[in-house]
Amino acid sequence: MDYSKQYKEELFDAEVYRELSRKEKDPVARAFLAKMSEMERKHASIWKEISEKRGIEVKDLGFRQKINAKFYSIIRKIIGLELTLRLLESNEENDIQKYHELSNSNELDQDEREKMKEISVDEAVHEEMLTTIKAKDVSDFVYGISDGLIEVLAATSGIAGAINNPIVVALSGLIVGISGTLSMSIGAYLSTKSEKEINENKREKIKIQKIVDRNEVSKRLKDILSELGIKDVIAQSISPQLVDVAEDIIAPKVEENPLKSSGITGISYITGAIIPIIPYFLRISGILGLVSSYIISGISIFFVGFLIGLLSDVNPKKKGLEMMGLGLGAAIATHLIGLLASLIL
């Protein structure tokens, strides 16, 4: 076992969370990140103690590793907190399994194995918190752009097949975008409001259940951990220790403001809707206007798909290519329909 490597991995994670917390403006997110940094630093100190007990000298992070940790702050500014946490989560998803196996390792003494158990509990809480702490504004904005971009691309592509006037195509696309913006904004408001009400009722029921039957709550937590891919034996041993924070794991509190969610959805939708009609507003007509719209829209769809891949825990590149193919495919199909309509009109 490479004890020095284990120490540096935990220390690096601690430094990443420290850098993120230093520059985070949201007080709740800042406190969460600071707590994660403290937790990882505690894990690093355990590995340092284990290493020194065996006469192994461990070194602190070098200049290059500290720069790499700061790089996550730059990533956070570009793609937001949630997506940055998703990147971190993808690097740590096997930690629970690793520490459970170490808690039964013959390379460690009894006291060290107990410490590995403690770390496995920390990592279980850590992973669940990473999936529930969300910068939802980023998610809403990304999905809103996707909806507006693909819908208006398909619509303007069809209209361009029937009409050869770029300004008419642009205005038609803008009308479709505005109507979609209003529809999506109202839908986001009603959805967020309903979700908040349902969530509050669910949290209250869990609090009551904790008083009446803690064992049943523990079973629910075990099922959740198992669904996350954690082995049943590990989930069984960890779940009783998580009962006190059960409502935060089973039904994380919804903090979103319905009006804010509605506004973000509307702005993102119209932002996406404007992209396909830019060439037409520049009076680029005919096949050149169509191809220009396809190119800038295709690149935009791929980027949005990449971000959605991160949000959905699937391969980002594959998701980006898939969405680009489907979006352009829909646009070409509606263009053919538009050409057919031009023959009839």
Q: List pLDDT tens digits, range 245-297.
A: 888 888 777 777 888 889 989 999 999 999 999 999 999 988 999 999 999 99
Query: What is the pLDDT confidence band of residue 328, given thresholds at 50, 70 and 90?
Result: very high
What global pTM score does this model have?
Answer: 0.60
Q: Which residues contact 280 (CB under 8 A, 6 or more apart)?
A: 156, 160, 166, 167, 169, 170, 173, 289, 293
Q: Using the predicted structure, report yes or no on whether residue 62 has a pLDDT greater than 90.
A: no
The mean per-residue pLDDT over the stretch 10-39 comes to 87
> Of the spans 19-28, 61-70, 156-165, which averages the highest pLDDT?
156-165
Per the rule left: phi > 0, alpha: psi between -120 and 50, beta: everything else, 24 is: beta
- The whole-angstrom separation of Cα 160 and Cα 156 is 6
Q: Using the predicted structure, report yes or no on whether residue 24 has a pLDDT greater than 70.
A: yes
pLDDT given for residue 129 in this prediction: 65
pLDDT given for residue 325 in this prediction: 94
Q: How many residues does the chain have?
A: 345
Query: What is the pLDDT confidence band of residue 134, given thresholds at 50, 70 and 90?
Result: low
In the chain, % of residues over pLDDT 90: 28
